Structure 1
Amino acid sequence: MLTVGDRIPPFDVQAVVSIEDDKAFTRITEKSQAGKWKVIFFWPKDFTFVCPTEIAAFGKLAGEFSDRDAVIYGVSVDSEYVHLAWRKSHQDLEHLPFPMLADVKREMSQAFGVLDKKEGVALRATFIVDPEGVIRFASVHDLNVGRNVDEVLRTLDALQTDELCPCNWKKGDPVLKAA
């Protein structure tokens, strides 16, 4: 698995950005949204149970991430057509404010090192990438455990201070000063 200090690998995938058929699809690469922080999160499969809770949680906090000059990319091994069908059929996903990337060849999941060898799907992994394309945070969960999106946002806040942030630090709290 890629980790802190690694550069994100090149990728070029189709993504769903809308439920309107004539505006639904676009290409996303590692160079899209250059100069921004990126939160890239993987989930195993569409039309499952834990996944929509996480995706909807990222959607609800998308404005908070945007306020921090960060874009969100959600990724699974499903096709863009499956993503579109799921968004159209699931009320919580219908108007997501971020792209759902289709990693049908599993190249992106493999390059990030989060492809579950047994199941052939992406693990629940989250990466925070700085504007230069360097991973500053990496986390992975087992397939049955959802992540905490508030913690991802808190971690982004801490990373953006470029300071020493103590345990349970929150935006606005004092940072540590080295003696």
Structure 2
Amino acid sequence: MLTVGDKLPEFKLTAVVSREKGKEFQEITSASYPGKWKVLFFWPLDFTFVCPTEIAEFGKRAQDFRDRDAEVLGASIDSQYVHLAWRNDHADLKNLSFPMLADLKRELSSALGILHKTDGVALRATFIVDPEGIIRFASVHDLSVGRNVEEVLRTLDALQTDELCPCNWKKGDPTLEAA
């Protein structure tokens, strides 16, 4: 698995960006959102149970990420058509304001090393990538355990200070001085 300090692999994927007829899909690449932080998170499959709780929470907090100069990108191994059908079907996903990337060929999830060894689906992986394309945070959860979006925001805040942040540090708390 790629980890902190590694370069985010180059990618070019189709994403669902809207439910509006004729504007549903857009190509998103590793070069999209230049100068921005990226929060890239993967879920195993659409039309499942834990996944929509996470996706909906990232959706509710998308503006909080944008306020920090970060773009949220969600991805699974499903196609853009399945993503769109799920958004149209699930009330909590209808108004998402971030792209749902279709990694149908498993190119990005393979390059990141986050495919489940027996099931072949993407693990619940989260990456925070700095504006230079370097992974600064990587986390993977078991398929049955949802992640904490508040913790992803807290980690982004800490990374953006570019200072030493103690355990349980929150935005506004003092940072540490090197002795």
The residue identity in structure 2 corresponding to 1:148 is: N
Counterparts of 1:21 and 1:123, CA distance in 2: 31
Look up the match of 2:66.
66
> Runs of 4+ in structure 1 displaced over 4 angstroms?
none
Counterparts of 1:173 and 1:120, CA distance in 2: 41
Look up the match of 2:81.
81
Look up the match of 1:102.
102
Counterparts of 1:117 and 1:19, CA distance in 2: 33
**Residue 117 of structure 1: CA displacement?**
2.1
Counterparts of 1:122 and 1:97, CA distance in 2: 22
Look up the match of 1:53.
53
The reply on whether 1:35 has 2:62 as its aligned counterpart is: no
**Residue 90 of structure 1: CA displacement?**
0.6
The residue identity in structure 2 corresponding to 1:37 is: W
The residue identity in structure 2 corresponding to 1:81 is: Y
The residue identity in structure 2 corresponding to 1:15 is: A
**Residue 18 of structure 1: CA displacement?**
0.5
Counterparts of 1:21 and 1:74, CA distance in 2: 21
Show structure 1 runs of 5+ residues with no match.
Answer: none
**Residue 20 of structure 1: CA displacement?**
1.2
Counterparts of 1:172 and 1:56, CA distance in 2: 27
Show structure 2 runs of 5+ residues with no match.
Answer: none
The residue identity in structure 1 corresponding to 2:174 is: P
The residue identity in structure 1 corresponding to 2:64 is: E
Q: Once the two structures are aligned, what percentage of the paired residues are identical?
A: 73
Aligned CA-pair RMSD: 0.5
Aligned length: 179
The reply on whether 1:123 has 2:126 as its aligned counterpart is: no
Provide, for residues 45-78 of structure 1, a one-character-per-residue CA deviation record: whole Å limited to 9, x for no partner.
Answer: 0000000000001001101000000000000000
Question: Structure 2 length normalisation: TM-score?
Answer: 0.99
Look up the match of 1:147.
147
The reply on whether 1:166 has 2:169 as its aligned counterpart is: no
SS of structure 1 residue aligned to 2:145: coil
SS of structure 1 residue aligned to 2:159: helix
Look up the match of 1:134.
134
Provide, for residues 69-102 of structure 1, a one-character-per-residue CA deviation record: whole Å limited to 9, x for no partner.
Answer: 0000000000000000000011110010100000
Look up the match of 1:178.
178
Moved more, 42-51 or 16-25: 16-25
SS of structure 2 residue aligned to 1:133: coil
Look up the match of 1:18.
18
The residue identity in structure 1 corresponding to 2:111 is: A
Counterparts of 1:11 and 1:68, CA distance in 2: 24
